[in-house]
Amino acid sequence: MTNKKFYVTTAIDYVSGEPHVGHAYQKIIADVLARWNKIQGKDVFFLTGTDEHGQKISKAAEKAGKSEKEFVDELSKKFKQAWKSLNLDYDRFIRTTDKDHEEKVQEFIKLMNKKGDIHKGKYSGLYCVDCEAYVTEKDLVGGKCPFHPNKELTELSEEAYFFKLSKYQNKLLELYEKNKKYILPKFRRQEIINRVKEGLKDLNITRTNFSWGIPFPLDKKHVTYVWYEALLNYITGIDWPSKKFKKFWPADVQLLGIDNSWFHCVIWPAMLMSVGIKTANTILINGFLTFNSQKISKSLGNVISPIALEEKYGADSIRYFVCRNFVFGQDGDFSEQALIDRHNNELANKLGNLVSRVTSLAEKYGIEKTKNKLIKKLKLKKIENYFENYELDKILNEIFAFIDVCNEYVQSKKPWETHDKKVLYELVDSIKAIAILLWAFIPETSEKIAKQFNFKIDYNEIEKPLKVEKIKKEGILFEKI
């Protein structure tokens, strides 16, 4: 692969509530992409974090009887703990209250102002506190915010500073036309294009009705609009404009949810165009998740912590389930029963059983190096293409189809009767390839297999013959739930 770096970001989570499985889904996908690129030998940077300013947080902190800083410190810590429990190997967890982020946001505003892209004016409109955004008339659903239909909108009128977003309409349309992979999945692309074609209004980038935010450097009476400054974390998190920034930017993949798509596909690239920074390569939009067929909601009481889920099922089972069960970009339901079924039928019965049987036989009868014809049935090119298209469910389907082939091979060759060391070598060598390919998805399990067989988790090792001579069976990989 010619591109030796890979930079992936996630949406930074708004800390007005605790982490839930919807947040976890996106972060797991990012971690899978980061790990996949690591085993290709690339220099990877994976950025995630928390979004900690705005009126909604101010109100939530007041309700909890805490200062804003105390409130965000506690919640940010919970997000970090949740991602640790799911074995996410990020390079930086950025917080928008980090000093370097705040300083660089102010630098960016000054630079944008020098370019003549900020002007002062007045704004009136309907404001959704939960979205921290104005809602236009055409976006209303039954007179309410489409994402928070149970909350009343507030009529706001305030003096504000604006970013000349309207100036970038044609440049944005050129970007979408030139880079067909800028907005993915493809079915999300056209709705953005259609809205941009309707025309863009300048963006209100300051607030005056609360103080919990980054001071606006052009006017002390204003704080910087939370959505404007939060977007900048993707460059402040890699120390814009330093050598590190030059090394990793543009981002290869920026993951986010549907409700954030307008900010990331329209406002964010326009901000970068304003100051002369390249836009990201791909904005990858994931769907919404429900939990056990219900919308994830604090009022329904089903905001289950990823930590609680991990304690119940284990990180690898959760990671495997969300990647295997959902078609990326579409909405899905996190069903505990479906997770249990996949854990038992696929991880325990297929993968676990294969590794257990083969290691027992290899330990008992030994292995003898031979040409591995079995591995030719593993469709590596197909798997690589699926990764290029972010079709993670299809990748796992392909790997498990090969696991089925291996299990059938054990049955047909009957090494427990023949004691055929060459057959056992083929199987052990094939398990090595399976473990390397699965490392991005179920790292803990893959590392156990690698330790047992003494090989490196490295994509280049797939086609190299296994060197191990002695196999010693250890504990089973997956207990049945």
The catalytic residue among 115, 122, 298, 377 is 298
Specify the 3-state DSSP secondary structure of 16.
coil
Query: Is 148 considered catalytic here?
Result: yes
Burial of residue 22 (number of CB atoms within 10 Å: 0-12, 13-18, 19+): buried
Residue 131: active-site member: yes
Phi, psi of 206 (to 5 degrees): -140, 160
Spatial contact of 427 and 453, defined as CB atoms under 8 Å apart: no
Closest C-alpha among 50, 17, 49, 21 to residue 315: 21
Do 291 and 285 meet the contact criterion of CB atoms below 8 Å apart? Answer: no
Burial environment of residue 317 by CB neighbours within 10 A (0 to 12, 13 to 18, 19 or more): buried
* Backbone dihedral region for residue 424 (phi beyond 0: left; psi -120 to 50: alpha; all else: beta): alpha
**Which of 53, 80, 104, 145 is labelled catalytic?**
145
Location of structure tokens 């659903």:
141
For residue 8, the SS3 value is: strand
User: What does DSSP assign to residue 345?
Assistant: I
Tokens 């399990």 found at:
445
Q: Which residues have C-beta within 8 Å of that of residue 343, sequence separation ≥ 6?
A: 313, 317, 320, 321, 478, 480, 481
Q: Is 323 an active-site residue?
A: no
Ranges of beta strands (E only) in 57-115 are: 92-95
Q: Is 264 a catalytic residue?
A: no
Residues in the chain: 481
Q: Which of the residues 66, 78, 84, 148 is marked catalytic?
A: 148
For 456: left if phi > 0, alpha if psi spans -120 to 50, otherwise beta; the answer is beta
Give the residues across from 204 on adjacent strands.
162
Separation CA 403–CA 75 (nearest Å): 41
Catalytic residue among 80, 104, 128, 343: 128
Q: Which of 295, 377, 451, 480 is catalytic?
A: 295
The rounded distance, in Å, linking the Cα atoms of 52 and 98 is: 10
* Inter-axis angle of helices 21-39 and 315-325, nearest 10: 90
Give the DSSP H or E segment for 118.
Answer: strand 118-128
| Given 80, 101, 131, 265, the catalytic residue | 131
CA distance 228 to 214: 11
Between CA 149 and CA 404 the distance in angstroms is 47
Catalytic amino acids? 20, 23, 128, 131, 145, 148, 295, 298
